[in-house]
Structure 1
């Protein structure tokens, strides 16, 4: 009970005031009986009133002091969080800015250690949710780092984790009371990643952009296909089961011609309602809604094509 009161200062102060008030109330009656004169009674009442007011004032001042100290502490922690969050993102930005075309970078072990200690700082002032997300970032880096060659390999799904971490930071700082939806974060990543690498010269219709993002997003986030397994072309991209990028290990060819997407898949029997020429599935911009309706089947066909080609090479 004593430990509980020590931890709960508000309850302790309220209990203290109640005890003083109740004790004063109990003491008034016998005191007034012994003090016959009215002046004496008024004097005693004034003394009790003064004592009670002093106690209340002391409690309020103490509470005000604690509130100001807590506010000052929270402001300092808030500032430290902003500095730390920016420091983390700056370090990650430096890494991603120096990745080569296949998502590799040579960094020293000292850089890995720096990120490790950023995690330690995060544990000190961050909340559990943000710490957990940064831990995932740290694991992505350490799991894909080869100490012997000092080569770090990252892909688009790792970048998605960075944006999710930034979103959690935003929530922790009190700038939002809810997180962004997974699809929005993926769309942010894809918008930069896909169309940066895509060598398409003509501007694409909105429907074509959304469809190509859905296809590439499935490869990146669901199949978790490394970027080194994707070959970008002037009019689209090809996806391979490994980084050799030879025709025999290609399981998806996705080309754009006059806003129409042509997907070449070894396995496509689950897809309905589209014009299929041999192994090619054609999706027109006007068929965006049809694509959405069949998206699960199309993604299943892509995954089955991946497994089919993979088995062929075993």
Structure 2
């Protein structure tokens, strides 16, 4: 007689079979290995999928320092030729050679009041001299002036007690009658028994009036390459010749121009910078310069004023300068 009872023995038989598998030698070890394989396989797939979907990959090598690319040294832009721009091989008008006032002699013809003034000649050609004598220290007499093309001039001073005294002699060299050199001064000692040339200070003796110049860097920034220059404004119609020339740079740099204003801006080539952006003295324009400003009015020259300019890294400054003989 059939019933649901016969299936119970089948379940018991299945459980007995499971127990039989577990009792087989090495079954537990094989099961563990199988599970590890499954888990590691899934993990590898997950890692592969993350790498494929990732947007950033970072590679780090243990023990290796990161390499940095040095900042390239910028190439400075050299100012174009033009008024106030310091450029290589500037066009500077040829001037008469510097005169040494110590070489000027004043030869008197006895006590006649006649003097022959002599000085060293300039053999460069095209040189003339404006030679003048002012009134005495007693305010006697009238100014005298003459232009000569040789290194000699003659003057007559009155041979009287009222005329005896000290007279200032000025010799202004000119090149081709238009380019002014530097004047020299001497004192003529005119006395009844003594006639000679003595030292005379050049200060405040310019025929165009007292003249001064001020020059200062435009800022204190380490990379500043601009120099502001100003000077005394003289009578209407006066023009000013501004010259800047290098004196110890590897190459010749400078500028020269004429202006009717009382100031100018001088721009040097920018400093060459190192990889950190700091100025260096690597440029052929870094060094010392001589600044000269001279007033001119209707062909008459005043006295020039000089300044020494230092254009060096962390040393951009200006000093007073006067030629020593």
Give the structure-1-normalised TM-score.
0.21
- Pair member with larger Rg: 2
Q: Which has the higher helix share?
A: 1
Q: Which has the higher strand share?
A: 2
Name the structure, 1 or 2, with higher relative contact order (CA <8 Å, separation 6+). 2
Give the structure-2-normalised TM-score.
0.21
